[in-house]
Structure 1
Amino acid sequence: MENITKQDLDNIKNEIISEIKLFLINDFNQNGKRNMDTEWLRSKAVRKILEISPATLQNLRISGKIRSKKILGSYYYNSKDLKSLFENN
């Protein structure tokens, strides 16, 4: 039986955080812009794509017009919801 140290736990935590970031953060396309075909986008990317303020994005989130997830203090938005928002309006 092995003892688990605080350093071991910190290493595991850092690995998990890295995996989550790789899963959620989207790759840039060749033009350096976010790809809307990916599933989840960070707040900054959504604001840049839609050219909206943080308050407008917050209103969309609170009103339920787009889904979001809060992970490690950052919001992520579903790209399908963003596409349907434009198709329906």
Structure 2
Amino acid sequence: MAAIDIVTKEGLNRFKNELFDELKELLKPAANTGQKQWLRSQEVRHLLHISPGTLQNFRMNGTLSFTRVGSMHYYKLDDINALLE
């Protein structure tokens, strides 16, 4: 028999706050470089001068690793720099 989890408003609020805290941490600038550690898709496309389709191909074929949060994709600046080198 499957266990049943009850979702409460309090639990959802706690989850929301934890998620926002993690997103803030991901998006805050790197302490020593003054640049963000993680970039969104639009920022990566602008930086690399590529189309949305090309970025999608990079994701699909493993050329560029990413982290997905909800419907947003985030890319590590270090991975982008490694790709350029």
TM-score normalised over the length of structure 2: 0.71
Q: Tell me the distance in 1 between the aligned counterparts of 2:28 and 2:79.
A: 16
Q: Tell me the distance in 2 between the aligned counterparts of 1:35 and 1:46.
A: 13
The SS at the match of 2:67 is strand
Q: State the match for 1:31 in structure 2.
A: none
Q: Tell me the distance in 1 between the aligned counterparts of 2:28 and 2:51.
A: 21
Query: Alpha carbons of 1:74 and 1:45: their partners in 2 closer, same or farther (altered >3 Å)?
Result: same
Structure 2 unaligned regions, length at least 5: 1-6
Q: Tell me the distance in 2 between the aligned counterparts of 1:62 and 1:16.
A: 29
Deviation at 1:53, TM superposition (A): 1.2
Alignment equivalent of 2:11, drawn from 9, 12, 19: 9
Compute the RMSD of aligned alpha carbons: 2.3
- Whether the 8 Å CA contact 1:61–1:68 is kept in 2: the answer is yes
- Whether the 8 Å CA contact 1:68–1:76 is kept in 2: the answer is yes
Percent identity, please. 31
Deviation at 1:35, TM superposition (A): 2.6
Deviation at 1:65, TM superposition (A): 1.3
Alignment equivalent of 1:72, drawn from 63, 70, 73: 70
Q: Which portions of structure 1, spanning 4 or more consecutive aligned residues, are displaced by more than 4 angstroms?
A: none
Q: Tell me the distance in 2 between the aligned counterparts of 1:41 and 1:14.
A: 21
Q: State the match for 2:59 in structure 1.
A: 61
The SS at the match of 1:49 is helix
Q: State the match for 2:4 in structure 1.
A: none
Q: Tell me the distance in 2 between the aligned counterparts of 1:62 and 1:35.
A: 26
Number of residues paired by the alignment?
76
Q: Tell me the distance in 1 between the aligned counterparts of 2:41 and 2:28.
A: 12
